[in-house]
Amino acid sequence: MLFLKSLLFIVWNIALGLSIVYTLRWLLFNSKARYFFGKRIPLTPGFIVKYREWLFTKARDILHDYLEQAANPQMSGYLAKWEAKIRDMLMQKTDFVDSWRFVPRKIRETIRLKIVEAFTSIASNLLRKTVPRMAEQLRVEHRIDEFDLQFSSDFFLRYYNQYVHKYLAYFFMGLNLIIGLMNMIFYLIIGG
């Protein structure tokens, strides 16, 4: 009878290991918010589901924000800051013009400003015209939507089940079998 009771350690340890594996899958891939006595369980919906939606929403927001800033040069956003940084960097890099001794100061300043304006306008055209045109030609917004449909939470769940869940369950079953055997031996030593 003592030996039969000790066998329960193996069963309980394997059940505990498998419950950990299934709880992990539930916390990652639970598709909707769950409630317990009217209170929302904090880790629902699952991590993959919640942050996959957040990622694609954020990608769309970044694209629309960039296109809006590119269309409005008067808007003070990160594009205007990038252009200001480029202008400041060019002003620093063109200080070699001041070392020209035999050129009058007014002409040196004009040359320096023309160099800075030329490269700043190239950078501005690249950021405000070329990149949005490329985004339109490459249909970036449609590709984001395609990736959103292609990489659904079912896609991740299928690969998780195929490559991670099965092996994680085997690992925990084996580990908890060993722990259960050790517990059974300790119980038989102490109980016997």
Identify the pLDDT of residue 38: 84
Express each pLDDT in 9-61 by its tens digit: 888 999 999 999 998 888 888 877 778 888 887 777 778 888 888 888 899 99
Query: What is the residue range of 88's domain?
Result: 2-191
Express each pLDDT in 122-175 by its tens digit: 999 998 899 889 888 888 888 888 888 888 888 888 998 999 999 999 999 999
Q: Is the pLDDT of residue 192 over 70?
A: no
Question: HSE of 110 in the Cβ direction (CA atoms, 13 Å)?
Answer: 5
Question: What φ, ψ does residue 104 adopt, rounded to 5°?
Answer: -60, 150
Q: Is the pLDDT of residue 73 over 90?
A: no
Please provide the distance, in angstroms rounded to a whole number, between the alpha carbons at the two ends of the chain: 11
What is the SS3 assignment for 35?
A: strand
What is the SS3 assignment for 104?
A: coil
Identify the pLDDT of residue 86: 92
Domains: count for the chain: 1
